[in-house]
């Protein structure tokens, strides 16, 4: 499998670089570099959203979750389905309308500079860590395939995505993400057909499961997925995803509200096309090779022992694509947040567009270099912190994003209280060891919402011009 | 295929198809509103 996988990955790398160079020539200003000129259509918007959403751990952990819990593993996606629904019916269109370049910019307009600065610092910190994690994931795969050291592989991968991100910015990221999504979908579907062929097809596989392993067809995974856990997953990610800046900025790059809205709809459909094969791979894998220990070992073990070499190689390509497409988005987010919300606002207020573009590219290189060294020298610390990475951002930001667009009475005092309170509650919950299995993000959502409502009602309403700007329909 | 499994497939599909259906409904509503506004202007 190694030779096939190396060929697949080299071809993928060449295609990524070619797209990066091609789009890099189209970058004329910071608007092109940071938000792809706000001209992205529905297919690319869907491709980049989903490719950013699907990281290496998605491709590995979800196969393990379905392998262990059978159909009950489906509840892991409920939160994502709820957040895409919320995006499709309300938030994507509004964020496209009111968003400019970064999420902090929206937060500043809606809640003032203090919350924007607090959010920017959290975003930069969390995204650098999450970039390290994707580098580590990709380098582990490349190292296994090539025999090169993990450090060398980390440098190869980082140089690759840093080149096209620095040159092409969001334009390159959006198009390469769409290619990555195509690789991910093709990879998973080919593996699915291959494994289903070995267990006699979908119907036969389910008949066997029904007679021999009925617990794999249990709606609640035979008690492993109780209602409380399902509600926790739904609230945690249904709300939490609304505060993840690298998802939110995908709404900004769409050419209009309609594209943003419909791309969220298409994302739901594309998720179905991705998670169905992942589930079927896991269930077929369970019949072919039961007893694999450890959720994250299931996918690599199946690819190495059950899948034909070329098919396994495609899956490896898909996992690599998932790593790189998430890493490039995170790198871009860290540099745009620093340049737009820290440099332009506090360091050089009179910077020209050309200067900002130059600084953005330099910051990308610096963040990339820092991330690769951090990934090589502090991998254990990063793995520990990455589990909290999305929660760090989501706990402080999601409630403000949702209330800021949906409740006109929300003011800066409520926003700041909810951001700090939500973040503190999530960290405290982590420190306490997640009592009763409740996710920290859920605690942050509850605490943040209570603080937002109570503090906003106890303090004066936001200025009329802010209400008129964000709720123009009520003005009319 | 067992009936329970068919129900599972339907529920699974509904979970993911909520957003495409939601997006289409909202878009139809918005298009109607826009058309109505244009007609009122005329």
What is residue A372's predicted lDDT score, i.e. its pLDDT? 85
Q: Which residues of B touch A267 (CB under 8 A)?
A: 19
Residue whose tokens read 């990308």: A364
Residue B1 has pLDDT above 80, yes or no: no
Task: Indicate the CATH number of A2-380 among 1.20.1730.10, 3.40.50.620, 3.30.70.980, 3.40.50.300.
Answer: 1.20.1730.10
Which of A71, A261, A271 has the CB atom closest to B16's CB atom?
Answer: A271
How many CB atoms are located within 10 Å of the residue A2 CB? Answer: 14
Q: Cβ–Cβ of B13/A264 closer than 8 Å?
A: no
Q: Nearest residue of A to residue B13 by CA position? A: A272
What is residue A240's predicted lDDT score, i.e. its pLDDT? 82
Report d(CA A130, CA A375) in Å as an integer. 10
What is residue A381's predicted lDDT score, i.e. its pLDDT? 60
Q: Where are the beta strands (DSSP E) in A309-429?
A: none
Nearest to A324 by CA among A19, A1, A95: A19
Q: Cβ–Cβ of B27/A261 closer than 8 Å?
A: yes
Mean pLDDT (whole number) for B8-12? 88
Residue whose tokens read 């797209």: A19
Q: Cβ–Cβ of A265/B19 closer than 8 Å?
A: yes
What is residue A452's predicted lDDT score, i.e. its pLDDT? 95
What is residue A384's predicted lDDT score, i.e. its pLDDT? 57
Nearest to A335 by CA among A168, A135, A151, A452: A168
Query: Is the torsion defined by CA of A279, A284, A290, A292 positive or negative?
Result: negative
Q: What letter would DSSP give residue A29?
A: S
For chain A, the structural domain boundaries read: 2-380
Residue-wise burial string across A196-217, b where 16 or more C-beta atoms lie within 10 A, e elsewhere: beebeebeebbebbeeebeebb
Report d(CA A276, CA A133) in Å as an integer. 26
Report d(CA A133, CA A229) in Å as an integer. 26
Which of A90, A93, A217 has the CB atom closest to B8's CB atom?
Answer: A217
Report d(CA A345, CA A50) in Å as an integer. 31
Q: Nearest residue of A to residue B23 by CA position? A: A88
Q: Cβ–Cβ of B23/A265 closer than 8 Å?
A: yes
What is residue A52's predicted lDDT score, i.e. its pLDDT? 86
Half-sphere CA count of A258, side-chain side, radius 13 A: 7
Mean pLDDT (whole number) for B12-17? 92
Contact A66, A249 (CB under 8 A): no
Nearest to A381 by CA among A121, A156, A157, A132: A132
Query: Is the torsion defined by CA of A109, A112, A113, A117 positive or negative?
Result: negative
Those residues of chain A that have pLDDT short of 70 are: 1, 378-389, 474-476
What is residue A61's predicted lDDT score, i.e. its pLDDT? 80
What is residue A283's predicted lDDT score, i.e. its pLDDT? 94
What is residue A380's predicted lDDT score, i.e. its pLDDT? 61
Report d(CA A194, CA A302) in Å as an integer. 12
How many CB atoms are located within 10 Å of the residue B27 CB? Answer: 18
Provide CB contacts within 8 A for A430, sequence distance 6+.
Answer: A388, A391, A440
Contact A357, A204 (CB under 8 A): no
What is residue A145's predicted lDDT score, i.e. its pLDDT? 75
Q: Cβ–Cβ of A84/B4 closer than 8 Å?
A: no
User: What is the gyration radius of the CA atoms in chain B, in angstroms?
Assistant: 18
Residue A254's DSSP bridge partners are A40
Q: Nearest residue of B to residue A85 by CA position? A: B19
Contact A136, A379 (CB under 8 A): yes
């Amino acid at each position: 499998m190694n030779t096939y996988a190396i060929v697949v990955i080299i071809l993928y790398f060449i295609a990524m670089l070619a797209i990066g160079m091609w789009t890099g020539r189209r970058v004329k200003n910071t608007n092109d570099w940071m938000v792809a000129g706000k001209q992205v259509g529905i297919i690319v918007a869907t491709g980049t959203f989903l490719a950013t959403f699907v990281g290496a751990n998605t491709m590995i952990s979800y196969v393990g979750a379905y392998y262990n819990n059978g159909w009950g593993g489906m509840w892991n996606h409920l939160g994502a389905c709820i957040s895409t629904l919320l995006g499709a019916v309300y938030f994507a269109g509004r964020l496209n309308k009111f968003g400019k370049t970064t999420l902090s910019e929206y937060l500043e307009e809606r809640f003032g500079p203090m919350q924007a600065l607090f959010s920017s610092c959290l975003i930069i910190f969390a995204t650098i860590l999450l970039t390290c994690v994707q580098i580590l994931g990709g380098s582990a795969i490349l190292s296994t395939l090539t025999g090169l050291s993990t450090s060398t592989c980390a440098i190869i991968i980082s140089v690759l995505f840093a080149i096209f991100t620095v040159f092409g910015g969001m334009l390159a990221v959006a198009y390469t993400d769409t290619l990555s999504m195509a690789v991910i979908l093709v990879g998973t579907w080919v593996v699915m057909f291959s494994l289903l062929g070995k267990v006699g097809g979908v119907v036969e596989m389910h008949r066997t499961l029904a007679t021999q392993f009925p617990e794999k067809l249990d709606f609640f995974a035979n008690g492993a997925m109780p209602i409380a856990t399902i509600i926790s997953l739904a609230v945690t990610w249904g709300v939490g995803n609304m505060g993840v800046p690298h998802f939110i900025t995908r709404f900004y790059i769409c050419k209009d509200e309609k594209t943003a809205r419909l791309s969220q709809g298409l994302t739901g459909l594309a998720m179905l096309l991705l998670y169905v094969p992942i589930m079927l791979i896991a269930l077929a894998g369970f019949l072919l090779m039961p007893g694999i220990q450890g959720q994250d070992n299931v996918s690599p073990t199946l690819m190495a022992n059950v899948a034909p070499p070329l098919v396994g190689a495609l899956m490896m390509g898909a996992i690599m694509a998932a790593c790189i497409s998430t890493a490039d988005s995170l790198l871009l987010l860290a540099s745009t947040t620093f340049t737009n919300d820290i440099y332009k606002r506090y360091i050089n207020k009179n910077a020209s567009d050309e200067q900002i573009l130059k600084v953005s590219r330099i910051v990308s290189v610096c963040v990339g270099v820092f991330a690769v060294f951090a990934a090589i020298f502090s991998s254990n610390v990063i793995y520990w912190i990455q589990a909290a990475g999305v929660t760090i951002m989501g706990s402080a930001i999601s409630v403000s994003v949702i209330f800021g667009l949906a409740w006109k009475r929300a003011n800066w005092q409520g926003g700041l209280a909810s951001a700090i309170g939500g973040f503190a509650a999530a960290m405290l919950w982590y420190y306490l060891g997640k009592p009763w299995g409740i996710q920290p993000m859920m605690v942050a959502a509850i605490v943040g919402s209570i603080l937002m409502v109570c503090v906003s009602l106890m303090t004066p309403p936001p200025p009329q011009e802010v209400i008129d700007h964000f709720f123009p329909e009520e003005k009319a | 295929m067992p009936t329970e499994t068919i129900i599972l497939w339907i529920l699974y599909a509904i979970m993911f198809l909520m957003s495409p259906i939601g997006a289409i409904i909202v878009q139809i509503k918005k298009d109607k509103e826009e058309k109505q506004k244009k007609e009122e202007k005329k």
